Structures are given as C-alpha cells and as structure tokens.
Amino acid sequence: MNNTIINNIIDGKKFSQMLRKNLKNEVDNLKNKENIVPKLAVIVVGDDPASRTYVNNKKKACTEIGIISKEYSLSQETKQNELIKLLDELNKDKEINGILVQLPLPHHINEKEIIEHINPLKDVDAFHELNVGKIMTNNFSFLPCTPAGIMELLKQSDISVAGKHCVIVGRSNIVGKPMAMLLLHKDATVTICHSKTIDLSKFTKTADILIVAVGKAKFIKKEMVKPGAVVIDVGINRTDAGGLCGDVDFENVKEIASYITPVPGGVGPMTIALLMKNTITATLIQNNIK
C-alpha cells in the first residue's frame, strides 16, 4: 500500500511534502544555474481571519521552498483604483514573477475586474479569463491550485479517472468548473451538481469519484455516497467547538469510501504546493527557460 495512504485516508500533508521537496530542488537549481530566485507578490485587502491564515501558510511555504514572497497588506477601505494602481506596478516589475490577490475582496471592490487586471503570465492562481480559456482547450501554462492539487492527489494515490463517473458538487470558477475540465481531459465522465440540482443524492450515489466543494459543514452524508467511492473533500468549515471540518461527514463516510481525504490535511496542503509550482512555472516562462 502507498505509504501516504493509511487505511483508506489520503494524507495530503505527506504528498505535499514530497512535492515541496522537489520544488525546492527546482528553485535551488534555478538559483545556482541562472542566478534567478522566483518572487511572489501577495496582496491582502482587509483583515479577514481566514485570509490571514491562508496568506501566512503561503508565506511559510515560500520560505521553505526558497521563493521570495512580498506581502502587500492593504486596509479594508482601500479603493478599487488604488488596488489597480498597485497591480499596474507589479505587472511592470520584472522582479515579480507571480501575483496573487487573496480572495474574498471587500464588497466595494469588483473581484472580476481585479483578476482581469493581473498580467496572465503572472496569474499564479490561474483565474484570468485567458488562462481559464486555455484550460478549456487543454493548452494551459497554469492551473487553478485546488483542482490541480486534487488531480495530483489522485495520480499519486494511483487512482485512475479514465472511464470513471466523477461527480462534482459545486460549480464555482475556482474549483467546480476547472475541476470538470481537468477530469474530462483525463477521460472521465463528469457530472456537475449545484444548489439548484433536484435530488442531489440521486447523482452523488452514482459517483465512482465524488468531489465536494460547497462550503457546508458535513453536508454529504453516508447514505449519499456509493460504497467503494473515492471521496475528495474540498470544504473547510469552522465547527461550533472551534475546530475544522469539511463538507463531508468524514467519520461516517470513511466507513464505506475506498479512499477519502481528511479536513484538515487533505486537499489544503496540496493547494498551497501547487501555488508554489505555478510561481516557479511563471518564473521559467518569463525568463524563457525551458
């Protein structure tokens, strides 16, 4: 059995550590051979506690791998034109290889306009329309970090998606839609469910691979899952006791799933590792290094 899977639980932390080790080697080689060190700009607007946690984790990963991270912490009252001015500066700065704007943004700022203002070659989240279009045609340089992390988890767990029925619960631009495209590119049959889906369990019970990203604590119950299914839980929710849980009722669903990701320690660590990978890819592209 793969030593990153204990019983039927996929250990995203161990997989991410393996990937980070490889990425650190890439950064070391880039520094030694080309005298180039990848540099990531992280923009945070406001003081959302969850955003602060995510940003701190990303900065920690950068330090571990050898990527320089530069944080731009802006107040909640920052105007949209001020944020766009900062993006213009970062787009032009040849020392900056990747730009990440931590979402969500305050309500008075238009997220779509901000994302479209990032240089697509520095868009390490792969949210820009140009990069999204490239994912559709399977001709991409960057992939959204969470879907890419899930594909890596499946690959490293020796779980083939070809010919499998993959059901995605959630249709966001960040997870659900790009996830569907990546699975299609690997020959899966894909169903996307969402808040308007009638009789959701009718679909989830047919899934060979079930991917859940809805932001509702323990939403997927044991009776909604086919015995032997692979269950990937993208959700991160705060419990009444102050802990974290996913969108899947983990303790009960793990009894019938062939494989399942925990929360925390499943998809989350892979998401950050793939962000690091995207930053390195952006650096290589901008410096014409094959």
69-101 pLDDT, tens per residue?
999 999 999 999 999 999 999 999 999 999 999
The Cα–Cα gap between 20 and 22 comes to 5
Other CB atoms within 10 Å distance of the CB of residue 278: 27
Band (pLDDT 50/70/90 cuts) for residue 6 is low
Q: What is the pLDDT of residue 48?
A: 84
Band (pLDDT 50/70/90 cuts) for residue 1 is very low
Provide the b/e sequence for 162-175 (b: ≥16 CB within 10 Å): eebbbbbbbbbebb
Using a 10 angstrom Cβ sphere, with 0-12 exposed, 13-18 middle and 19 or more buried, the burial of residue 202 is exposed
pTM equals: 0.94
Q: What is the pLDDT of residue 238?
A: 87
Band (pLDDT 50/70/90 cuts) for residue 107 is very high
138-167 pLDDT, tens per residue?
999 999 999 999 999 999 999 999 999 999
- Tell me which fold the domain 35-120 belongs to: Rossmann fold (3.40.50)
The Cα–Cα gap between 153 and 112 comes to 29
Residue 3 has pLDDT above 70, yes or no: no
Q: What is the pLDDT of residue 7?
A: 80
Average per-residue pLDDT in the chain? Answer: 95
Q: What amino acid positions are annotated as catalytic residues?
A: 58, 102, 125
Using a 10 angstrom Cβ sphere, with 0-12 exposed, 13-18 middle and 19 or more buried, the burial of residue 84 is middle
Answer yes or no: same fold for 35-120 and 145-268: yes
211-259 pLDDT, tens per residue?
999 999 999 999 999 999 999 999 999 888 888 999 999 999 999 999 9
169-201 pLDDT, tens per residue?
999 999 999 999 999 999 999 999 999 999 999
Segments making up each domain of the chain, as ranges: 35-120, 145-268
Handedness of CA 54, 57, 63, 67 (dihedral sign): negative
Q: What is the pLDDT of residue 203?
A: 98
The rounded radius of gyration (Å) of the Cα atoms in the chain is 19
Looking at domain 145-268, its CATH architecture is 3-Layer(aba) Sandwich (3.40)
Q: Are 50 and 238 in contact (CB under 8 A)?
A: no
250-275 pLDDT, tens per residue?
999 999 999 999 999 999 999 999 99
43-56 pLDDT, tens per residue?
999 988 888 888 99
274-290 pLDDT, tens per residue?
999 999 999 999 999 98
Residue 5 has pLDDT above 80, yes or no: no
**Nearest residue to 230 (alpha-carbon basis) of 215, 209, 207, 205:** 209
